[in-house]
Chains A and B, each alone.
Chain A
């Protein structure tokens, strides 16, 4: 059983001539909140896909929760949670049905499901909304719910792809409260975000530019390194030199 949640060495993904992810190497400790930052088009999504066991690396090695990303993809999927801004839950199913579905997928028993359901609904204060279709909830509640469902089966690591996009400042912070709680319970958090203040909440973070990792450290050290007052300035200093942008 590896102590590290994620170990990544020279991980590369190439599409024809185009090198989307260029020999990235990093490690994430168990229970850490790790920020995986980068501009649009830098290769973040491609890298995350490989780590989630959704795509095969062209070269290089990585293990997630101790499982190899090239050879043990099914085991990885069983042991991680995933949530993104674009997809969270089924809009035309109720909250209850979504929980039952995802719980069932990950092999929770009926008893476990029932308990978790009550816990989740109670914590988020959704007692009155239980019968509503998810599509009828405001965005912020959807995101919080999606996160809770993603960790329903108590995965070792949860991958969050820009989970707080477009959400109001209060709900964003409530979301991070949930993240902190999960981290305190021992779940490793791997999160990407565009909000630079959220970068500060991470224990350590890496910044991808043009397929490479150009910075990896704690927020405090990065700011010292780039003589910046905020993470925003650090990011700007790195992203400015990028050749690839967006799409």
Chain B
């Protein structure tokens, strides 16, 4: 029995004018760390709100912990943990007051499940008498996670928990999630950051309300159809323009230091090198590279729209 299932879920806003999610189907196994990866407006929050029974889908059905989101919403509300996008805690209550409140909300106490949150809570314990509004972004995030966990939920929904938080806290947060997974809690996380995708067991790439692909991160990048090359030269911008003019280039886009390029048909590496040197580029470097989640995402988007080529 999967922990979460979605079956052809469609949701529109504004009397059908805005298509939030269209025909979404996937499932999450118990104890899995599942990532919903996509930019703003992709529909991640909508999916979470439907699963936490805060919104009713227009079409389709969904279950959480084996319960139907429409009929059994009260039961679901009692057994899930939810952290919505905006660090929704009570700013004028202290850390400890917030935690005790959320424990009481779920009919339990802070002490009962302390073992579950102790790792995380120890980090903010020195501030337990500080008002939540005066915490830094990273600490608020840890507190919100504790509040969502304090009643030992079966499924944990974290909607963009790392957005707006500094890089160090982000890394720490994912370390905490990994440890939580070992407790057997099913965790669904949404994030716009492609690099965080690798830290999930399975991910779904979502864009404009549709799923582009679902699989383990490893499988998704393995499934990248073409061979990918990393190309570098002295003048990146000129390089970009010139490669786009190269007739056999299928796709070419910036990727940090390098450009990621794929070709139509056979390996055109050496040919490209010549072409570029003829155009006057210095220090041309062309090497094979592995695709990343971001590459896969871009490619999937391109299948629907024109690639920047």
Contact = CB atoms under 8 A, between A and B. Distances in A.
Contacts of A173: 253-254, 308
Nearest to A162: B164
Interface in A214-247: 219-220, 230-232, 235-236, 239-240, 242, 244-247
A40 B136 CA distance: 9
B38 interface: yes
Contact of A245 (B168, B236, B254, B298): B168
Interface string B291-309: 0001001100110010010
B285 interface: no
B166 A245 contact: yes
Interface string B28-53: 00000000001111100000000000
A239 B166 contact: yes
Interface size, B (range): 35 or more
A3 interface: no
A207 B120 CA distance: 29
Contacts of A171: 39
Interface in B224-283: 236-237, 240, 253-257
B39 A167 contact: yes
A245 B137 contact: yes
B309 to A, nearest CB: 11
Contacts of A197: 254-256
A106 interface: no
A130 interface: no
B168 A166 contact: no
Interface string A103-128: 00000000000000000000000000
Interface in B157-194: 163-169, 171, 192, 194
B81 interface: no
B217 interface: no
Nearest to A241: B168
A166 B298 CA distance: 15
A170 interface: yes
Contacts of B136: 40-41, 244-247
A180 B167 contact: no
B207 interface: yes
**Secondary structure call for the B interface:** mixed
Contacts of A242: 166, 168
Given A139-B40, A245-B136, A39 B167 contact: yes
A174 interface: yes
A246 B134 CA distance: 11
B168 A168 contact: no
B138 interface: yes
Contact of B39 (A168, A180, A184, A232): A168
B17 to A, nearest CB: 9
Which of A167, A183, A197, A219 has the largest count of B CB atoms less than 10 A from its CB? Answer: A197
Given A40-B165, A180-B237, A201-B236, A169 B294 contact: yes
Given A239-B166, A245-B138, A246-B165, A170 B171 contact: no
A183 B238 CA distance: 12
A170 B298 contact: yes
B297 A169 contact: yes
Contacts of A91: none
B308 A177 contact: yes
B41 A138 contact: yes
A176 interface: yes
A213 B255 CA distance: 26
B271 to A, nearest CB: 25
A169 B301 contact: yes
A61 interface: no
A168 B256 contact: no
Interface string B126-148: 00000000011110000000000
A40 B168 CA distance: 11
B138 A246 contact: yes
B282 to A, nearest CB: 14
Contact of B256 (A200, A239, A247): A200
Contacts of B308: 170, 173-174, 177
A39 B240 CA distance: 30
Interface of A: 39-41, 138-140, 166-171, 173-174, 176-177, 180, 183-184, 194, 196-197, 199-201, 219-220, 230-232, 235-236, 239-240, 242, 244-247
10 contacts: A40-B136, A41-B136, A197-B255, A200-B256, A219-B257, A232-B195, A236-B171, A239-B167, A245-B168, A247-B136
Given A40-B164, A139-B41, A246-B136, 11 more contacts: A39-B168, A40-B137, A138-B41, A169-B39, A180-B237, A201-B256, A219-B257, A236-B167, A245-B166, A245-B169, A246-B138
Pairs of residues from A and B, 9 with the lowest C-beta to C-beta distance, nearest first: A246-B137, A166-B40, A168-B39, A197-B256, A246-B136, A200-B256, A39-B166, A180-B237, A245-B136
